[in-house]
């Protein structure tokens, strides 16, 4: 299901195309002094908007797919490291060694909890019918929290493996707990996290470009649509016909909300 914001961007794009047709039908009487409002300029803007909208949607699809694969790869890690830790407890090792391993495991558990919370929030948002007015609030993983947590888990799993390699007596019979298996698991984490991270960067770039074309002050699709309506209202030939048709086309500006600063 498309998000409310995605529908809003698509509606803006559809309506600017209809607004252009209204202007075309006016004929020679449509003669704005602002060159940004001319039919050729409007045609160029629509073409760029369509391209940027399509590129953004493609980037969302790619990231969603790779993000899902990353979630699947990382999901068992929390329980796996718990079992590794329990297996290690069988050995007669210095307490400091146990403490070192426990510290690493605790870090992994903490980051896994953050990822689970981010996934739950994403799923809740996708089921929320409330319109979203933030163009950055797409139905994708939060970049700041979950990406850092995935990176941290990957790094700590690598640290855990290297620490286990320094314990000669750590030789579990369970295949998935053995060093070789853990190394293979780390390789999967590294591969899935890397490609998802690259896709996330591409998505952010595509989203920023879409926002620039659609909502940049003065030059974006939204502001241009308002200026066209103002021009049609000012033109005595169009104010009673084309202007009325234009007012029926609604445009919504999706403005990113600024986070409130915490007061001390």
- Report which of residues 238 and 67 the model is more confident about: 67
pLDDT at 114 over 50: yes
**Which residue is listed with tokens 């609604």?**
250
Quick check: is 259 in a domain?
Answer: no
Residue 56 domain flag: yes
Query: Which residues form the domain of 112?
Result: 4-247
| Residue 256 located in a structural domain | no
Instruction: Please give the pLDDT value at position 136.
Output: 39
How many domains does the chain divide into? 1
Query: What's the whole-model pTM score?
Result: 0.80
Q: How far, in Å, CA of 247 to CA of 46, rounded?
A: 19
Joined together, the tokens standing for residue 11 give: 């509606």
Vertex 76: Cα angle to 73 and 80 (nearest 5)? 130
The verdict on residue 227 lying in a domain is yes
- Please give the pLDDT value at position 6: 57
Range of weakest confidence among 86-95, 127-136, 177-186? 127-136
- 34: which 2 tokens? 């602002």
In a domain, 183, yes or no: yes
Q: pLDDT at residue 195 above 70?
A: yes
| Cβ within 8 Å of residue 111, ≥6 positions away | 149, 150, 152, 153, 156
- The answer to whether residue 264 sits within a structural domain is no
Q: For residue 260, tell me if it sits in a domain.
A: no
Instruction: Give a yes or no: residue 84 inside a domain.
Output: yes
Structure token digits, residue 178:
């053995």
CA–centroid distance for 183 within its chain: 30
pLDDT for residue 2: 52
Please check the confidence at residue 101 and state whether its pLDDT lies above 70.
yes
Query: Tens of pLDDT along 46-83?
Result: 999 999 999 999 999 999 999 999 999 999 999 999 99
pLDDT value at 137 more than 80: no
Give the contacts of 45 (CB within 8 A, at least 6 positions apart). Answer: 16, 36, 213, 221, 224
Q: What is the rounded end-to-end Cα distance, in angstroms, of the chain? A: 41
> What average pLDDT does this structure show over 215-225?
96
Query: For residues 132 and 6, what is the distance between their CA atoms, to the nearest angstrom?
Result: 9
Residue 202 Cα to chain centre, angstroms = 10
Q: Using 50, 70 and 90 to split pLDDT, how confident is the model at 3?
A: low
């Amino acid at each position: 299901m498309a998000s409310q914001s995605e529908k809003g961007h698509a509606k803006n794009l559809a309506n600017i195309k209809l607004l252009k047709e209204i202007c075309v039908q006016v004929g020679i009487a449509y003669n704005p002094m602002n060159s940004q409002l001319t039919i050729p300029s409007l045609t160029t803007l629509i073409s760029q908007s369509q391209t940027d909208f399509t590129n953004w949607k493609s980037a969302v699809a790619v990231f969603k797919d790779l993000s899902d694969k990353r979630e699947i790869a990382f999901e068992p890690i929390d329980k796996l490291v718990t079992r590794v830790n329990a297996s290690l407890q069988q050995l007669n090792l210095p307490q400091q060694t146990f403490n070192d391993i426990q510290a690493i495991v605790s870090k992994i558990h903490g980051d896994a909890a953050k990822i689970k919370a981010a996934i739950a929030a994403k799923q809740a948002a996708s089921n929320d019918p409330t319109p979203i007015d933030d163009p950055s609030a797409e139905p994708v993983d939060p970049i700041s929290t979950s990406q850092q947590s995935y990176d941290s888990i990957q790094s700590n799993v690598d640290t855990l493996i290297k620490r286990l390699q320094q314990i000669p007596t750590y030789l579990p019979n369970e295949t998935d707990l053995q060093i070789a298996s853990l190394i293979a698991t780390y390789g999967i984490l590294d591969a899935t996290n890397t490609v998802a991270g690259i896709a996330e960067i591409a998505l952010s770039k595509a989203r920023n470009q879409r926002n620039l074309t659609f909502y940049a002050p003065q030059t974006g699709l939204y502001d241009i649509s308002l200026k066209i309506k103002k021009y049609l209202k000012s033109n005595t030939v169009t104010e009673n016909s084309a202007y009325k048709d234009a007012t029926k086309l609604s445009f919504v500006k999706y403005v990113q909300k600024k986070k409130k600063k915490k007061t001390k």
